[in-house]
Amino acid sequence: MRPAAPVLVCLFGDFQLVKNGRPVPLRRGGKIKQLLVTLALDDRQQASRAGLVEALWPGTDPERAGQSLNTLVHGLRRLLGDALTGPPLLRTEEGYRLDVSTGIDVDTLRFTGGVARGSGPRGPATPPRRSPLTSRRSSCTAGTCAQATPTCRC
């Protein structure tokens, strides 16, 4: 089992952001959650700048929304930066990418990675003794999120 990541984004169940084993309180209806969810759910954990602006501030003046996106990205870097080995988001040619190599883990990525490793050329892997679907300490989160807070649903 791999060690717990310094930052865990829980998308299964209710959204939760965990930093160094503790839940990070986010403003209700805040954009940080929307930004993280949008990036984490993309197959490559990235999104175009225009796509983020439209997802986070639909119908808003693009220039003003672009400035708001810059502020949001800066705020996310300040919020998580001290727990990571680098910035949580990387600026790409098209937009931004969630940089999971810095110590950010996403429960859905663990789950899909586990599923991908579970079947291969020799067929499905041996089933676990406890079903990960009924265990709060499933391989998709390795218990990190569930241990961090009892309200986590992943």
Domain boundaries, the chain: 7-108+125-148
- pLDDT grade, residue 30 (50/70/90)? confident
Compute the average pLDDT of residues 16-44: 90
Higher pLDDT, 77 or 151: 77
**pLDDT band of 138, cuts 50, 70, 90:** very low
Categorize the per-residue pLDDT at 133 as very low, low, confident or very high, splitting at 50, 70 and 90. very low
- Cα–Cα dist 119/113, whole Å: 11
pLDDT digits 0-9 by tens, 60-74: 999 999 999 999 999
For the range 45-54, what are the long-range contacts, defined as Cβ-Cβ under 8 Å and sequence gap of 24 or more? 45/97, 45/98, 45/100, 45/106, 45/109, 46/92, 46/94, 46/95, 46/96, 46/97, 46/98, 47/95, 47/96, 48/94, 48/95, 49/94, 49/95, 49/96, 50/95, 51/95, 52/95, 52/96
| pLDDT score for 116 | 58
Correct CATH for 7-108+125-148 of 3.10.450.40, 3.40.50.1820, 1.10.10.10, 3.90.1010.20: 1.10.10.10
C-alpha span between 134 and 63 (Å, rounded): 47
Share of the chain above pLDDT 70, in %: 69
CB atoms within 10 A of CB 49: 19
Report the distance separating Cα 4 and Cα 6, nearest Å: 7
Q: What pLDDT is recorded for position 35? A: 94
